[in-house]
Each structure stands twice: as structure tokens, then as C-alpha cells.
Structure 1
Amino acid sequence: MSPFCLIYHLVWRSQSNVESAEKAALRKHSMWSNIAVDILLGNLIGLSLLYHAELVSLWFLNSMEGLNNYLRMGSVWLMGVPAGFKLNTELAAILGTTSLNVIQICSTLWVFVGFFLMNIVRGIATVGMLFGATVIASLMADMIGAATLHISALHSLISCLYASQTQALAALWRLFRGQKLNPLRFRLDSYDYTVEQHVVGSLLFTPLLLLLPTTCVFYIFFTIVNTSIRVTHVLIEVFISIIHETPYVKVLLWLVRPTRFPAGIWFEIVSCEYNGVHPMEKSICDSNGINPDFDNTPRKTENYNRPTALVSFLRISVPSIGQITLPHYKKVFTGVSASLVAESAYGILTGKRISYGPVSHPPTTLPWMHISVKEYWQLCHKSILSHMVD
């Protein structure tokens, strides 16, 4: 290797090491700043919960009671003639009675939970003061999930009934058309059904089709309620992700030294002379010799193509706070895509179970998190001993 190539390689390597070291330092400081802000918010929210534990527990009980009353009124309304639709009385009575029994059982259980709900709120506040606001948000999400467990169970039951009914109707419709689903090649093949199969299919198709509106109405009602609860979980998850993804160190450095994160560089020309031509006279003509203020007739610029004196300053474009934080906030909604929305819409229409995955991906695993806790402390012990020996 030539000396010039070696010097270029060393310079490039040192620059890359400096850049990597700066990124590693920002990442390390961002991690500690996120932990500090998380604990600070946890103390603020925890103290508020401790001082208002009775009000929070009372509000939560009233909210659950109001939700259960809404479910009762909705179930009773669906058992009648909802929006003028004539439903099957027997099936509506079975589904409505089942829903009312499940709601009543959960309401009775929440009466007993209400006696020690204040202690639960205080425990959540204490844990949040020790471990941060994200722990409070996670525990509140789990608490909401436990309180609305009966809604999830009823929604799963109605979804299973609705999906089975729609799948049976789709299979019977293919029977009438002389087609058969090929699950191996994901296509419809022609098939000759017997007369007995057509007769049995006709006998099954009619009652299933007539019972579909009743099942569909109950499914729509519980899907709306369950989706509203899921939206609350998503909002809590977004709150946790925003705390994790906010670059507090970059924001602080931007406030102290905005030029630390340049968005670009540009030259500001102070003065320029072209072979005795005054700068103001030259400034009205562009590089093509066109005068934009008077006419579009080209002028002869052969005599002053090259400047004799040029004074300029190098300026740095300072980014805004949005340009610094927006790339980090984009990671919050990386789990949301057009395919996910289409899959969710298809799952709602067909009654299939919708996977409510995380909206954002968790933070990348740091290098020292790939080892176990025991190995980590052994490495720390060996490093301390080696330092003492040196």
C-alpha cells in the first residue's frame, strides 16, 4: 500500500471512529436521560395519585359502572327492535341474556374489588415513583384490561359465532355455484355436487341467512365497544413510546448550542466586483446576463465573466426543534402500515380475530444487554480487580 493510500485510510478511519464515538455517546446519554425523565414523570404522577387516590378509585369505579350500564342498555335494546330491524326473537334473547348475565357477574365482582381499589392505586403510585411513569402507564393498561375482561370475552364469543356463520354461508354459496375451495393452491376449483348435497345445502343456507342479521347486530355493537377499549390501550402505548423515543439530550444541546446539529451550510456573498463594474450594477443581472427588473433581453457579459474580488462568509443553517425530534417520533408508528389497516378491516368484516400488535417497536437492544446479569457482574468485578492491580 502506498503512503498516500495509507494516510487516506487512517484519516478516513479516524473520522469514522469519531462519528461512531459521537453516536455512541449520544445514545448512551439519551438512555440515561430517558431513564431520568421517566423517573421524574413517575414521581410527579405518583405523588398526584397518592394525594388523590380516593378520587381516582372512585372515578374508576364510576366509569366501570357507567360502562356496564351502557352494556346493559345496549343488550336490552338489541333484544327488541333496534333501529327498526326485525331480528330473530329467540336468538336475540339467547345472546342478550348471556350478555346480561356476564355483565351482572362482573359488576358484582367489582363491588368487592372496590373495597381495596384505593390500596391498588396507592401501590401503583408507589411503584411508579420507584420505576418511572412507563410502569404506571403499563399497570393502568393492565388494570383496564382486567376490568374489561368480560367485554373481551363477549366479543370473542360473538366473533366466533359470526365468523362461523359467514364461513358456512360462503361454503354453501360455493356449493350452489358448483365450486370448491382448494386450500393448497388458494383457488376455486369446479366440483360436481350430488342432488342430496344440494338439498342439504339449501336447508342449511336459508336459516343461516335469516339468522345472520341478528348475529351481525350483536357483533357490531360489541366490536365498537371493544375497539374503543383497544384505542385506549394504543394511546397508552403511544405515550410510553414517546417517553422512550424523545431525544432529551439532543433537545438540550440544541437549546445550548444550536450549531451542534447543522442542517446545511451556505455561503453569504458580501461583495463582488467584475472588472471595474460596480456590485449594485452587476447585481441586477443574473449569470445569463438577463435583467429581470426591466426586460428579458440578454446583455453582453463577455467582459466581466470572472470576478476580481469576492468576499463571502460560510454560514450554518440551524435546524428547528421539529427537524430534530421528528425522525425519532416516526419510530412510534412504525408498526402501522397500509397492510395492517387492510388486514384489520378484513378481520372486522369476516369476524376473525384481530392481532392488536404493538404500535411501535421496542428500543434496540444495547450491546451489554446480550449477556446475562451474572456474566455482567463478573465482568465488572474483573475490571475493578484489574484496575486495582494496575
Structure 2
Amino acid sequence: MSTYVVFYDPPLYNHHYFSLQPSNSYEQENSSFKKPKWVDELQQKESSFDLDTVILAINCAAAAKRPLERHLHAKSSLQFSIVDRCYSFMWSLLAVSIASLSTLFYMTFQFSYKLHSLGLQLWTSDVVSKIFMTSYNNAHIRCCQILYWPIILQERGVGFLSNVEYEDKVALQRHSMWSSIAADIFLGNVVGVALLCYADSACSLIVNLARDVTNNILRTGCVWLMGVPAGFKLNIELTGVLGIVSLNAIQIWSTVWFFFSFIFIYVVKALAISGILFGGTLPAAFTSDLISVASCHVSTLHWFFSLIYSSQIQALAALWRLFRGQKQNPLRKRIDSYDYIVKQHVVGSLIFTPLLLLLPTTSVFYVFFTILNTSISFIKLLIEVIISAIHATPYAKIYLWLVKRKRFPSGIWFEIISCHINSTDCPDKNFSESFDLPTKILERSEEVVVGRSSVLVSCLHSNLMGIGELVLPHYRNIFSGFSQSVLASTFHGVLTGTRTTSTLKAGLPSPLPWMCIPYRKYWHLCHDSILTCRQLPPCAS
């Protein structure tokens, strides 16, 4: 009777496990030996069992006994040594300290959340929340991550501990949150300390930059448009009106900026302190909102000219349909035929001619402020992408991938160690060969090599994920708002004067629901979570 023997390294927590997840980037090297015919025949056979069950049993075989051994060891150890007592006391002291500190933060967050809930009843608080929406969303995400750390550290039960694959994934999920917070706080400390040390220089640099943009771009650009820009002959009266309106708006905002510039140094220091305490994403989000506030005059002028431009385009389109004997049916959303009278054609011609001749004058102002507003929106979008990348980067996975790549399997393959086949395709001799085999390789040997195979010995190995295959899935949510339809609608809005650029948003992590539990219960939850970490299995060497 034929025999098939498989050797494999037993899966261990924090070391490796087997997975049937296919690998897209990893390809096993082809061997110089030619594959026997029975391998090709094996690929054409139907599988007689579920290989997922086999892999599940392999991952559970070596780990199922560990929770039971730990439970029996806890019951059998009746006497503790002095070292064990000191170790337990240190863990208890650490649990009490961290639980007390976390409860203090929890009370502060709950008090701030209640104040915000009460403030939403006032229209001023609602307006402030809308203006600083990016900062509010990032602050909510960071506060929820800090509040939920005892929930993440809770042990998931014996069902997860008895399976190396599930246990490893739970451990990665547990480490992903605190590693993201730690990396963000480290980045915030670097940026915050630099801002605190050079606050005056940063403040003067930003004020000078704002003054140069106002004088050299906005004022100079408006004066240039009031003349003959790029050789275009524009309507002098209309350019004078539009230019004066733009210059007055810029002057009003410059005056307001001058009166509030003395508090800018405190804003820079507040950004630095918030970055040191809560990480770099919060001051980055607040900077994005401050850019929106500082460029309010540009966005207002862009809205004003886009309103004029879009109304003019819509009027010209309606008059053009009048000349063609058509009208728009808004109920059925189609173009219908219609017989206009002579007076309507005459009035339409009198309106169409000046609108068409004034369109270039309106267009140059609209294009100028569209370019400025788009540049500002691109800067804010770049900041949002950086914030989302900081949140989405799996720091713990990247570190573990550099240290132990076996913790990230992606498919399986077999290394043939010995093969005795009584056939002309494979002589009766031992050879070593490595190649990927299908899932049907574990079938009964009577069905695999009927009448030809006597002994087949192989070793089970795992394909390993590449760094791109590991990291790229976490970045998909960042560009979820950049679909083809959204980009097309944005481009169409720019051409027609519709304000649709705000639809481009970088994806942020899903916000967790706000936690509202009694303070005592939260303290016990944090205390038990720290003690649970003591009972977690040690890292395997």
C-alpha cells in the first residue's frame, strides 16, 4: 500500500503558523528537476476533503494543550517563592498606577464630552464644530483609541488561545492600536519640541509668508487682471468692478489679520503642546483647519466668481436651446422640443449677445481664483492624506515582518524529500525537489498514484508575505474617496462653476462609539486588563 508522510514544524504562538491565503507577490523558485507525471494528474483530480479543516487542526494541535497546562499549573502551585511574590506585587502596583492614571484621563474626556454636548445646543458651538471639523474628527478618534485600550487588551477566550492563527491575529490587532498611538505621539513630540524651541521664528516665517502671498499674488494678480492679462482684450468697466470688489475683500481680510496676528504666537505654542500630548495628527488636523480660516477671503471670492460664472454659463446654455427650438424638462430630466414665438427669439438674442461677450472677462477672474482655491484645497488634502497614512500604517506588523517573517504566511508549498515510484516517469530513487502543490496533495495515496507510488515523503512549508502585500491593504481606505466618478464630478464642477472640490476627502479610521460607563467600573476594567497581560504567553524564542 502507498504511504504519504508529511513533516512540518509545529505552529507556535509568536513564531509561525500555516495559512491557505494565496500569495500574489511571492513565487516559489522553480526546481531544475522535472515534475513527475503523477503531479499533473493529481492537479486534475477533485479534492475529497476540506483542506481548511486540516490546516485548522495543524494550527490547533500544538496550541490546544497550552491553556490547559497553564490552568493546571496555576492550581498545582500552592506555594510561592519570594521572587514570585515580588513579581506579583510589581504587576499589581503597575496595574493600580496605570488604572488610576487612565481613569483620570477618562474623567477628563467625559467632562469635555459633556461640555461639548451641552455646547451643541448653541449655534455658535455648532459653527465652530463645522469650521474645525477635521480637528474634531481626529480628536474624537484619538480619545476613543485612548479610552478603548482596556477593551483591546482583554483576553478573547479559550477558543482563540487554542488556535495559533487566531491568537496571532488577535495579538496583532491588540498591538496595532498602541503602536499607532506610540508612533503618533513620538512624531508629535519631535514636531512639538521643535516648534516650542523655534516658536518665534516659525511665527515670523508664517506671517511673512502670508503677507507675501497677499501682496505678491492676490493684489498683484487682481491688478494684472484689471489691465490686459496675457494680451486678452477684456471689458474695462466689468474688470474694474470685479477688481475693486476683490481688492476691497483682500484689504478687509488683511486688516483683520493684522489685528489678530499678535495671538498667532500662542496658536503655534498650542499646536506644539497638543502634538506633545496627543500626537502629531491632532496639530496637523488643526493646521488644516487654520489654513481654511486663513484663506477664507480666497474661498469667498472664489464662491462669488463661481456663482457669477455658473449663472452666466447656465443662461447661455438656456438661450442656446432657445435658438435651437428646445427647452429643458426638469421633471423628466430631458430636452424637449418647443416652438418659441418671434418676440422670445428677439429678447433671447438681445440677452445672449452681451452675456457671450462678457464671458471672457468673468472667466479670467474665475480661473484665477479657482487656481488659488484649488492650490489651497490641494495643500489641505495633502495634510489629510498624511494624517490618514499615520493612522493606517501598521507599525507593529512592519516591525514583526522585519524580525520574524514567518508570522505572516501566505499559502503553503511542499518540499519533496524522498520519492519511490515504480514507473518510467520517476525512477525508483531518492531525490529532493521543491515546488507548489495543489490542495489535493493530501488525498489518500491510493487515489493519488494508483499502482505506482510506494513511499512519498515531503515537508510542509509556508509562503511568506512581501512588505507590499502586508502594508498596501491598510492604505486602501485612504484613497476610498478618490473614485473615478468623484474625480469626474469634480472636474465637471470646475468647468461649470459648481463647488464640488470638497468631495475629495482622505479616509480616516472608523470612529468608535463613545464609551460611557461608571468611573469605578472603568478603573476595574483597566486593572484587570493589565493583569491579563501578565497571563499572556511569553514570546517564543
Please report the TM-score for the alignment, with normalisation by the length of structure 1: 0.82
Residue 212 (structure 2) aligns with: 66
Please state whether the residue corresponding to 1:71 is helix, strand or coil. Answer: helix
Which of 148, 157, 167 is the aligned partner of 2:314?
167
Q: 1:271 to 1:281 in 2, by over 3 A?
A: closer
List alignment gaps of at least 5 residues for structure 2. Answer: 1-52, 61-157, 434-449, 529-541
Cα distance, 1:315 vs structure 2:
2.2
1:246–1:329 Cα contact (<8 Å) kept: yes
Q: Give the 5 Å matches for 1:299-378.
A: 306-308=452-454, 310-357=456-503, 359-366=505-512, 369=513, 372-373=515-516, 375=517, 377=519
Please state whether the residue corresponding to 1:268 is helix, strand or coil. Answer: strand
Structure-1 separation of matches of 2:188 and 2:416:
52
1:103-142 CA deviation, whole Å, 9 max, x = no partner? 2222233333332322210111111111111111011111
Which of 212, 230, 234 is the aligned partner of 1:83?
230
Q: 1:282 to 1:265 in 2, by over 3 A?
A: closer
Residue 198 (structure 1) aligns with: 345
Residue 321 of structure 1 aligns with an amino acid whose one-letter code is: I
Residue 386 (structure 2) aligns with: 239
1:183-231 CA deviation, whole Å, 9 max, x = no partner? 1111011122222221111111000000000001111111111101000
Q: 1:305 to 1:229 in 2, by over 3 A?
A: farther
1:39–1:131 Cα contact (<8 Å) kept: yes
Structure-2 separation of matches of 1:120 and 1:385:
37
**Larger CA deviation: 137-146 vs 223-232:** 137-146
Cα distance, 1:158 vs structure 2:
0.4
Residue 190 of structure 2 is aligned to residue 48 of structure 1: no
Residue 277 (structure 1) aligns with: 427
Cα distance, 1:362 vs structure 2:
2.7
Residue 380 (structure 1) aligns with: 522
Q: Give the 5 Å matches for 1:74-153.
A: 74-153=221-300
Q: 1:99 to 1:365 in 2, by over 3 A?
A: closer
Q: Which has the higher helix share?
A: 1
Residue 298 (structure 1) aligns with: none
Which of 219, 224, 243 is the aligned partner of 2:371?
224
Residue 57 (structure 1) aligns with: 203
1:331-368 CA deviation, whole Å, 9 max, x = no partner? 210111000010001101100111413533332244xx
Please state whether the residue corresponding to 2:343 is helix, strand or coil. Answer: helix
2:414–2:459 Cα contact (<8 Å) kept: yes
Residue 174 (structure 2) aligns with: 28
1:41–1:132 Cα contact (<8 Å) kept: yes
Cα distance, 1:26 vs structure 2:
2.9
Cα distance, 1:17 vs structure 2:
9.2
Structure-2 separation of matches of 1:156 and 1:64:
21
Residue 91 of structure 1 aligns with an amino acid whose one-letter code is: L
Please state whether the residue corresponding to 1:188 is helix, strand or coil. Answer: strand
Please state whether the residue corresponding to 1:185 is helix, strand or coil. Answer: coil
Please report the TM-score for the alignment, with normalisation by the length of structure 2: 0.60
Residue 318 of structure 1 aligns with an amino acid whose one-letter code is: L
Instruction: Figure out how many residues of one structure are paired with residues of the other and give that number.
Output: 355
Residue 181 (structure 1) aligns with: 328
Structure-2 separation of matches of 1:159 and 1:191:
30
List alignment gaps of at least 5 residues for structure 1. Answer: 1-7, 284-303
Structure-2 separation of matches of 1:148 and 1:385:
48
Residue 164 of structure 1 aligns with an amino acid whose one-letter code is: S
Structure-2 separation of matches of 1:353 and 1:53:
36
1:274–1:305 Cα contact (<8 Å) kept: no
Residue 266 of structure 2 is aligned to residue 266 of structure 1: no
Q: Percent identity?
A: 50
Residue 253 (structure 1) aligns with: 400
Structure-2 separation of matches of 1:183 and 1:98:
35
2:381–2:505 Cα contact (<8 Å) kept: yes
Residue 328 of structure 2 aligns with an amino acid whose one-letter code is: L
